[in-house]
Chain A
Amino acid sequence: MLTLEGVTRRFGGLTAVRAVELEVARGELLGIIGPNGAGKTTLFNVIAGYYRPQEGRVLFEGRDVTGRPPHEICRLGLTRTFQIVKPFGNLSVLDNVMIGSLTRVTSVRSARADADRVIEVCGLAPYAGARARALPIGLRKRLEVARALATRPRLLLLDEVMAGLNPAELAGMVALIRRLHAEGLTLIVIEHIMAAMMRLARRIVVLHHGEKIAEGTPAEVAADRRVIDAYLGEEFVLAEA
């Protein structure tokens, strides 16, 4: 469904993503992990059209989307969320989600019905009328997912939607991601915390200094010497998982 061919993105002298190859199959839930500054978010920015890679190509459903603007990529069926959530702060939760729906439906009325359904799925129904900026972080992360879902993606990129959540919120988010995956959505999930990811993804890609250093099942990745070195001092996290 998604293919990255030797994608490289540099910022001046710094190579944030180096020659990354990636293949994501339809219906898969792929995890991308790596320490801070490993290039995870940069990779998302390249896939979603925010950065043009200096080298390599991004293929979505067989189509070359390298360098296309983000809104076109979204309309093709690939939507991303932001690690630092970007809610439309002065608008209600419902309006936020409706703006996503309106990318697929032209009538405001059907967008509202559509948004209501997505809000229900994401457990935001009690807050539909609240201003987005009044929501606590756990709900804002949910809103970020809800808004992206409203654009009816076939591939959804989630950038650290579990970071900063308390244990109850985390469980809710994991359940939501599992449900979306079970319903047939293809997902790529970035997470800094490995424990949550180990339970969620069947296949994990590890980035370090912009390079892919390991790929495989959670167990394989956790046993990989280079991964353990990259996460030096976090071995206990792997052990726990």
Chain B
Amino acid sequence: MVAWYGGALLLFGAAALAPVAVRDAFLLDALVIMLLWGAASAAWNVAGGYAGQVSLGHAAFFGIGAYAAALAGARFGQSPWLGLLAGVALSLAAGGIIGYLSNRLRGPYFALSTIAFSQVLLIVASRWRGFTAGSEGIPVPFRPGFWTLGLGHVAWVYLALAVAVLYYGVQVYLERSRVGYQLAGVREDEDAAEALGIATRRLKVVAITLSAALTSVCGALWAQYVGFVDPFYVFSIDLSIRFALHTIIGGIGSALGPYLGAILITALETYLRATFSGVRTGFTGIYLIIYGTALIVVVRFLPEGLTGLLARLRRPRAAARVADRAHA
């Protein structure tokens, strides 16, 4: 269990100082997106990394949050903050239900059931024209002000940073607390955890529900920031995979991992898009190739992700000593 306080301080500190040093809207935009993706991946990590419930349907909760915030403004003329809260409530319910229903499913079967769930929501959102505007998507009205979440780039950086730091704190709590240890037990071996007095089923539902609510907040903020909600994007499997991928590449089950993964992937993607767009449009899909390659490289050479690599670089001898003793 590695929280990497120093690394987190460096990373979040740099993000906090960035708006002071950088005025370029393109870079600040990339930073906001990185922080939001990092937070959403951290939310995924709560279920996938700490509780071992690897979901490939977290776009469902992201989409619920995005739609709730967008509809609050576009349909009801309410503050997106209220939409955000409604999204959290809906995601708590959805997370609880899917967690309960898929309780007995393990490994790939759990992942499949989460995909099915997000696909159902995609169909609902893209067909329910009267309410969600269907497959056309919803433009989010921009009204300047904090209450209406119409913010400038600098304010967005700090808002996204606040969420990112909060989620980092949630993960650190999950590493240090009683419930964190118990979740680790569930992740490593459910039968053994159950034998040791842990209510494994209830704990899994709690983890999925919490993860769902946290993901939903990111969806709501993302919708306000980007200004448009497209059902085929917010409920897509691509997005679900993205959360998982950031976390796996950064270091699954570590608090800093999702942020490192999000930064690396988003930076690469932003750079490649900027470089290969325009005339050389033949390269528009190249970031997908980068995704795939990065995943293969990580799974093959760094199964514990970037944080695992950092840990190995920092204390190779200590690790070797422990191993020697264990084999003695």
Contacts and interface: CB of A to CB of B under 8 A. Distances in A.
A99 B196 contact: yes
A86 B191 contact: yes
Contact of B178 (A69, A102, A129): A102
B199 A86 contact: no
Q: Which 9 A-B pairs have CB atoms at the shortest separation, nearest pair first?
A: A103-B197, A88-B188, A74-B197, A86-B192, A130-B326, A134-B326, A99-B185, A70-B194, A86-B189
Given A99-B181, A103-B197, A134 B176 contact: no
B192 A134 contact: no
Given A82-B192, A90-B188, A108-B177, A99 B198 contact: yes
A108 B199 CA distance: 18
Given A70-B194, A74-B195, A79-B196, A127 B189 contact: no
A141 B227 CA distance: 58
A98 interface: yes
B194 A108 contact: no
Interface residues of A, number: 40
Interface in B144-173: none
Contact of A134 (B184, B197, B323): B323
Contact of B322 (A48, A91, A134): A134
Contacts of A87: 188-189, 192
Given A102-B178, A111-B178, A131 B197 contact: no
A80 B323 CA distance: 28
A37 interface: no
Contacts, number: 96
30 contacts: A50-B191, A71-B196, A71-B197, A71-B198, A71-B199, A74-B197, A79-B196, A79-B197, A82-B191, A86-B192, A87-B188, A87-B192, A88-B184, A88-B192, A89-B188, A89-B189, A95-B184, A99-B184, A99-B185, A99-B198, A102-B178, A102-B182, A107-B178, A108-B176, A108-B177, A136-B326, A136-B327, A147-B192, A147-B196, A150-B196
Interface string A109-145: 0010000000000000011011100111001000000
A148 interface: yes
A82 B194 CA distance: 12
Interface residues of B, number: 25
Provide the main secondary structure of the chain B interface. helix
B266 interface: no
B181 A102 contact: yes
Given A88-B192, A91-B188, A151 B197 contact: yes
B181 A79 contact: no
B53 interface: no
A88 B52 CA distance: 12
Contact of A82 (B176, B182, B184, B195): B195
B215 interface: no
B195 A148 contact: yes
B259 to A, nearest CB: 21
A81 B194 CA distance: 11
A145 to B, nearest CB: 12
